[in-house]
Amino acid sequence: MPRAIIVVDAQGPSGPLSGPGLERPSDRATVDCRACSDRRRIVARMDRPPVKPRLRLARAGDAESIRAIYNVEVINSTVTFDMVPRTLDDQRDWIEAHAGAHPAVVAEVNEEVVAFGALGPYRSRPAYSTTVEDSVYVHSDHRGRGHGKTLLVELVRLAGTHGFHSMIARVVGGHEASITLHRSCGFELVGVEREVGRKHGRWLDVVVMQRLL
């Protein structure tokens, strides 16, 4: 894949930068030098390979980190249909509820939780017990680095290991990043629920995707 490189240029719209503060040759040389230095730093950052996260099961001590990631989405987005931010006790209860057959997993980079995901029951009636629903959330500062896919691949593996037969993803309509992520992990579109949710003054569709294990 071609690597994107941001180039800092010391050229103005009509040529070299000029003006009252940049009339001496020494000033232009200083600007050019700084531009080259900035360019080298940017290219060096983009050449650096992404850090692979460490995955592990969530534990009680992760409650605040998970809550911080999740509550941003509760307040600011429609990716979750929750409308009330979780308290710390709520989050601890959630982690405890995901300690068995429906695990929660966190992704750590440099000992910081940057993403989390979980399996949950699809429906409460017993005949649905072989089907699970997944959820994946990535901290806004760590998106675009593959952490979501790393988590989803692990959740698929865990679902198979725990004996489940089917995985369902329910994604808010228009959330192309999540739809693309699930497609890349073998999920197929099975339907769309029209205007089943309302949040931030908008009617929301739900895209239903499925993978058989």
* This model's pTM is above 0.85: no
Residue bearing tokens 């890349």: 184
- Return the pLDDT at 51: 81
DSSP state of 186: T
pLDDT value at residue 161: 97
Q: Does residue 5 surpass a pLDDT of 50?
A: no
Quick one: pLDDT at residue 67? 98
Give the pLDDT confidence of 83-101 residue by residue, as tens digits.
Answer: 999 999 999 999 999 999 9
Rounded mean pLDDT of 180-190? 98
Integer Cα distance of 69 and 109 in angstroms: 15
pLDDT at 64: 98
Between 188 and 30, residue with greater pLDDT = 188
Q: What residues contact 103, with CB distance under 8 A and at least 6 apart?
A: 57, 58, 118, 119, 158, 162
More confident residue, 48 or 138: 138
Q: What is the pLDDT of residue 90?
A: 98
Confidence category of residue 209, pLDDT binned at 50, 70, 90: very high
Q: For 10-20, what is the mean pLDDT? A: 36
pLDDT band, residue 49 (cuts 50/70/90): low
Buried b or exposed e, range 79-91, using 16+ CB within 10 angstroms: beeeeeebeeeeb
Contact call for residues 58 and 136 (beta carbons, < 8 A): no
Residue 75 has pLDDT above 60, yes or no: yes
Write down the pLDDT at residue 25.
41
pLDDT of res. 139:
97
In CATH terms, the fold of domain 54-212 is Aminopeptidase (3.40.630)
Q: What percent of the chain has pLDDT over 90?
A: 76
Average pLDDT score over residue span 124-143: 97
